Amino acid sequence: MPREILKKYFGYDAFRPLQEEVITAIYEGRDCLVIMPTGSGKSLCYQIPAIGLPGTAIVVSPLISLMKDQVDALRTAGVKAAYLNSSLEYAEQRRVENDFLDGKLDLLYVSPEKISAANGFGFFHRVKINLFAIDEAHCISTWGHDFRPDYKTLQGIKEKFPGIPVIALTATADRVTRRDIAQLLRLQEPAQFIASFDRPNIYLEARPGQQRIPQIISFIENRPNEAGIIYCLSKKSTEQLAIKLRKRGIKAEHYHAGMNPEDRSKVQEAFLKDEISVVCATVAFGMGIDKSNVRWVIHYNMPKNIEGYYQEIGRSGRDGLPAHALLFYSYADIRVWREIISEIENREFAEIQRNKLERMMQFAEAVSCRRRILLTYFNEDKAENCGHCDICKNPPRHIDGTLIAQKALSAVYRLKESVGLNMLIDVLRGSQRRDIFLNNYHLIKTYGKGKDLSFEQWRNYLRQLINLGYLEMAPDEKMVLKLTPASNRVLFEKEQVQLVDMQTAREHLAREKAAAKARQKSPRQRARNQLFEHLRELRMKLAREKNVPPYVIFSDASLEEMAAKAPTSLEAFANISGVGEMKLKTYGPVFVQAIEEFIAQTGFKPDPPTAEPIVAPLCEPKKSSAEITLELYQQGLSLHEIAEKRGFVPATIFAHFVQLIQNGEHIDTSDLISEEETQKIIAAQEQLQASKLKELFEHFDEKIPYEKLRLALALKERRESVGS
């Protein structure tokens, strides 16, 4: 049954990891604690039981903007959902309340303050509730990074609704918060589901933060029309960066907490609706971003810890298609964070923050698989390198860095440990800076001895020497470089030093350019992209008409599949992942028509199908899926044989049979339903005057599946029409 709902409403064929397990636990009436990373599909875990179980589900969600999008998405899929929060006009609110009280809703989204409002719980008592889903459940914990006082009301939920399952969901990994959630919500022996934090579709990359702007520009120009977020540390840099990008013709805007709410929501809306493709933002941007087709996230500055970094990159690739996370890091960022941490009064807390920063730096400067480092950080063991990060793709070369180290350390020694990183490099490279001559640095023995390396290379090597403990930066003395006991071993005991040859900004730029060439696709690839663009525009037009974000209509993943398979019949269209019954009905015809037109204009041929051919020959009248089932039935195949042959679940064929009977076809149903059962259902329907299947379903204590109910009613209709 959950699987049928998955197909019927959401158009997906298979569950993602843990979804089915969570759903089963909810059907068993258990409280659940669900910890899954962003984008892993948490919402379906409660949406499916909400649809399948009798009664209405209450979903508590802290973000008003997100609530609307989620409800829009559900409605587009044909699910009866609504929301109540402070943004609604009075009349609208009354309408939703009435629908709820009339039992017309499968899901009601509410903001926490709506529950705090005096009679919140009382209101819910007037209707059969099948479950409470608490989204972003970490908001209840003062330990979490986003405590919301309104969530406190939820503490009474189990007491007020004993026996109704409460599902707490969050992407927060940290253990204290997890425990807190279960305790505060008073969950009873909750079933715990903790998914892997791995997001294998996100490519991980880090680069030193030099020449960021040209790198970012070519990165974006290599990805036309792709949506992305650039996180910056300061409000000002978000603004400046956006200006620079716009000058290059990139549709970019900035977003930060200093803007007024209207401007902020304008930017957010435009981004959600694919009207702008890039947002340069501080971390204030993102909590309310449910956009599934963010293709990349760039960190213009290094975040202060891995939790933040991971959450931010997690906003990309929610649709499961490839995404790219590019981190820039520089010593300047680290210095900013250190300063901020040094102002923290609570020493213990400051120490924790310092350690977290340290781990973040190690990640940024890593010379081994980045995904392994990340997952280790989240206490997950990954035994193999991922093959999908910059380190795995271009393993750094180890070089003998002894001479480099000797030159650098000896210069530090001769400069009497009195200069910072930049001056040291300038001296090594023999710069003509005026202050070098003023200070007589040009007279020391190592002056100009490092000309063979670029400024950036030197910076990389020096950073490594610092990390390896051969040099120290004195934070209390304006970051002047100091020698350490280990430096003496290099200077006086000929200790060998291994360094890693890092890629320079120039090399990264060159690589980006080469990637642009490589992206120049084969003609068919280009045609496919063209069809994708064509469908994207159609989606945009429809989204505008309905005033919803485009991904609510179809995800990028669905569009990709459409562009690859180019379905020209509704039946083929129904096989696209993400096309449920409602979307097939609403959008199938326009999309199929657009594809047909595209084929007619361009002679485009879809990718050869991988399984049985799904595109019917154009000259034949197109058959519906049910008609194909009928043909097979008439050839003598049973329901199960048809299901097997067509690769469908039996329920789908069952549904075809019902449809065929409704269409007046003759189908022998004696194997599917007994006469006794048929009579029982018909009698109940007449007695209840039930207009909705759900009422019948509940009448029979949910023991008779919907399809059977439908079948009985179809038989009734047939009998009535033939007058028997």
Instruction: List residues near ligand ADP by CB under 6 A.
Output: 12, 15-16, 19, 36, 38-44, 290, 292, 318-319, 555
Q: Quick one: 112 or 208, whose CB is closer to ligand ADP?
A: 112
Choices 179-187, 301-309, 379-387, 617-625; region in contact with Zn ion by CB under 5 A? 379-387
In three-state secondary structure terms, 231 is strand
Query: Is the separation of the CB atoms in 430 and 455 below 8 Å?
Result: no
Sequence-separated contacts (24+) of 508-516 with Cβ below 8 Å? 508/207, 508/215, 509/211, 509/214, 509/215, 509/218, 512/215, 512/218, 512/219, 512/222, 513/218, 515/222, 516/218, 516/221, 516/222
User: Rounded to a whole number, what is the largest CA-CA distance in the chain?
Assistant: 112
Q: Quick one: 198 or 698, whose CB is closer to Zn ion?
A: 198
Q: Which residue is nearest to ligand ADP (CB)?
A: 41
Taking the C-alpha atoms of residue 141 and residue 173, their distance in angstroms, rounded to an integer, is 13
Pairing mode of beta strands 81-84, 107-110: parallel
- Give which of Zn ion, ligand ADP, none residue 389 binds (C-beta under 5 to 8 Å, depending on kind): Zn ion
Q: Quick one: 37 or 103, whose CB is closer to ligand ADP?
A: 37
Q: What mask, x for binding Zn ion by CB under 5 A, covers residues 298 to 317?
A: --------------------
Please identify which residue in the block is written with the tokens 């090597």. 461
Find the shortest distance in angstroms from Cβ 211 to Zn ion. Answer: 25
Find the shortest distance in angstroms from Cβ 653 to ligand ADP. Answer: 22
Q: Quick one: 17 or 469, whose CB is closer to ligand ADP?
A: 17
Q: Quick one: 185 or 392, whose CB is closer to Zn ion?
A: 392
CB-neighbour burial class of residue 341 (10 A; exposed 0-12, middle 13-18, buried 19+): middle
Taking the C-alpha atoms of residue 372 and residue 584, their distance in angstroms, rounded to an integer, is 41
Q: Which position among 278, 369, 444, 542 is part of the footprint of Zn ion (CB under 5 A)?
A: 369
- Give which of ligand ADP, Zn ion, none residue 555 binds (C-beta under 5 to 8 Å, depending on kind): ligand ADP
Find the shortest distance in angstroms from Cβ 569 to ligand ADP. Answer: 23
Within positions 342 to 361, which residues make up the interface with Zn ion, using CB under 5 A?
none
Q: Quick one: 460 or 555, whose CB is closer to ligand ADP?
A: 555
Q: Which position among 48, 96, 389, 584 is part of the footprint of Zn ion (CB under 5 A)?
A: 389
How crowded is residue 420: how many other Cβ atoms within 10 Å of its Cβ? 15
SS3 assignment for 555-572: CHHHHHHHHHHCCCCHHH
Sequence-separated contacts (24+) of 382-386 with Cβ below 8 Å? 382/198, 386/200, 386/204
Q: Quick one: 218 or 316, whose CB is closer to Zn ion?
A: 316
Q: Which position among 306, 386, 480, 538 is part of the footprint of Zn ion (CB under 5 A)?
A: 386
- Give which of ligand ADP, Zn ion, none residue 319 binds (C-beta under 5 to 8 Å, depending on kind): ligand ADP
- Give which of Zn ion, ligand ADP, none residue 292 binds (C-beta under 5 to 8 Å, depending on kind): ligand ADP
Taking the C-alpha atoms of residue 144 and residue 5, their distance in angstroms, rounded to an integer, is 34
Q: Quick one: 36 or 415, whose CB is closer to ligand ADP?
A: 36
Confirm or reject binding of residue 392 to Zn ion (CB under 5 A).
Answer: yes
- Give which of Zn ion, ligand ADP, none residue 386 binds (C-beta under 5 to 8 Å, depending on kind): Zn ion
Taking the C-alpha atoms of residue 137 and residue 35, their distance in angstroms, rounded to an integer, is 10
In sign, the C-alpha dihedral spanning 11, 17, 22, 24 is positive
Taking the C-alpha atoms of residue 99 and residue 101, their distance in angstroms, rounded to an integer, is 6
- Give which of Zn ion, ligand ADP, none residue 369 binds (C-beta under 5 to 8 Å, depending on kind): Zn ion
Helices (H) and strands (E) in the chain, counts: 34, 17
To the nearest 10°, report the CA torsion of 180, 186, 187, 189: 90
Find the shortest distance in angstroms from Cβ 372 to Zn ion. Answer: 7
User: What 8-state DSSP symbol labels residue 331?
Assistant: H
Choices 42-50, 377-385, 598-606, 623-631; region in contact with Zn ion by CB under 5 A? 377-385
Nearest Cα to 255, choosing from 274, 232, 277?
Answer: 232
Please identify which residue in the block is written with the tokens 């960066």. 241
- Give which of ligand ADP, Zn ion, none residue 39 binds (C-beta under 5 to 8 Å, depending on kind): ligand ADP
CB-neighbour burial class of residue 451 (10 A; exposed 0-12, middle 13-18, buried 19+): exposed
- Give which of ligand ADP, Zn ion, none residue 36 binds (C-beta under 5 to 8 Å, depending on kind): ligand ADP
Confirm or reject binding of residue 206 to Zn ion (CB under 5 A).
Answer: no
Q: Quick one: 41 or 450, whose CB is closer to ligand ADP?
A: 41
Find the shortest distance in angstroms from Cβ 315 to ligand ADP. Answer: 9
Confirm or reject binding of residue 366 to Zn ion (CB under 5 A).
Answer: no
Q: Quick one: 59 or 642, whose CB is closer to ligand ADP?
A: 59
In three-state secondary structure terms, 434 is helix
Q: Quick one: 296 or 458, whose CB is closer to ligand ADP?
A: 296
The contact set with Zn ion (CB under 5 A) reads 369, 371, 385-386, 389, 392
